[in-house]
Chain A
């Protein structure tokens, strides 16, 4: 005999508006619960970070994983982004006779925006997903419970070293993405497209200032923190089984990426306000 799928009688008797309100209400409550959970998770991590430093043995492998192993991919993507910017911008600027200003456009875009966001995206994809998968597997196989039964706090032992690795090393990765992007942009503009070397350099120096570098590095610290907290949270709250681990890894990247862009917007507005409050006027590329 074929089994009949269970039906929810109380729900099926509701009108469409009631169901709509119930569905959206559930989504809102679930969302708020998750925000509260992540906030508490981050708070616990901060408390641990300032009360007891992690062991060297837990810190160094995470530094190696986040910093050293991410360096090649960040450098490579940074180089390509610099060259792509040159390709995309050249014809527009050449059509109004301003191709010599290309250095300013490429380098400003890289140090303020693309370098930090690119480094953070690479970190979220390469390290964030791996963090969620590793911690999720540890949750599923009861290794996190085992840590707790042996008197080691899992947040202190597993999350704090990952968080520190992300916030301390993402500025270095951002500098690498900026540098390689600048090199890539210069290579394509000067060597391939034949823009005058001196004009390219002069414009680069004129329009890119210390505050632009600072804003990129400043934002990257927040991006690193978000990647670590979101990825570790998703790993800690992983659903059972291989599918649960897979979902945790995917969600870690998607949530991190969306939050990186949202934080980028907020911080850009804030940093621009600070910039214009301190320096009333600024150099313009055009």
Chain B
């Protein structure tokens, strides 16, 4: 079942952001960037996942991070909000170094962001209502009536009927769970919303519903968004800027992990052939690499 979602309206600020992303410099018309990563490197068990990645995300921008599986997209996104600690480098959120924040300051910072997980990450032991109300109960001193009103409003915004509130996550379809995850991420009206593969595993119609929800969220709230996705349709439709990462293990030590950083319209014309191949879904060169490694 797909509920009608309002079609995106024309938004001039959105157009100006798209145009400004042609250069590698962030949009200077905005204030200081909301999120900055300076020379961030991440290693797990001695294996380098990210190496010296530098990134600035201006306020109000929708950034899509694309790349092959295992290239470090999700790790980068989790590093941006302090869920993964960088091995070196620093991450600034609104000018504050996340590694220098104490628990109270970090909690307050996290109050300003929402995370939509790949499989929604809803708490199994709670109902949908309790899941969506969780951030409110954690951070706000509201009466039960106020909490109920907020939760129902958010569920309605993502196109879910009231009956869903009483159900458990296991009783919902994948698309419904993702919408509940979005409602939960938006309940505190965050400044930054992060989406981890929001359309993976969904049918094309539900993928488009999620894309429209991301766009309508952006219209209703002045949010900055970061979307990790493999889905080029999502990247083209919702992003102002696209960043393509490449797996660290397949690069020389002096090569940058960021293969592309620009507006979605430039993806097809990227100088790097690996970007064009990824966008078109051409496996030729990768297949040859895999065969060569098998023969070695």
Contacts and interface: CB of A to CB of B under 8 A. Distances in A.
Interface of A: 1, 3, 137-138, 141-143, 145-146, 148-153
B121 A153 contact: no
Contacts of B124: 137, 143
A1 B291 CA distance: 10
A1 B115 CA distance: 45
A148 B113 CA distance: 11
Nearest to B294: A3
B295 A150 contact: no
Contacts of A149: 81, 83, 110, 113-115
Given A148-B110, A151-B110, A141 B119 contact: yes
B78 interface: yes
B181 to A, nearest CB: 9
22 contacts: A1-B295, A138-B123, A142-B117, A142-B121, A143-B121, A143-B123, A145-B121, A146-B115, A146-B121, A146-B123, A148-B110, A149-B81, A149-B83, A149-B110, A149-B113, A149-B114, A150-B110, A151-B107, A151-B108, A151-B138, A151-B139, A152-B138
A152 B126 CA distance: 15
Contacts of B113: 149
Interface string B13-43: 0000000000000000000000000000000
Interface residues of B, number: 25
B135 A151 contact: yes
Contacts of B81: 149
A242 to B, nearest CB: 15
A86 B239 CA distance: 76
Nearest to A157: B138
Contacts of B111: 151
A141 B134 contact: no
A283 B122 CA distance: 60
Nearest to B117: A142
Contacts of B295: 1
Given A143-B123, A151-B108, 18 more contacts: A1-B294, A3-B294, A137-B124, A138-B123, A142-B117, A143-B124, A145-B78, A145-B83, A145-B121, A146-B115, A146-B122, A148-B83, A148-B110, A150-B134, A150-B138, A150-B184, A152-B134, A152-B138
A3 B123 CA distance: 43
Looking at A1, A137, A138, A146, the one whose CB has the most chain B CB atoms below 10 A away is: A146
B223 to A, nearest CB: 15
Given A1-B294, A145-B78, A150 B135 contact: yes
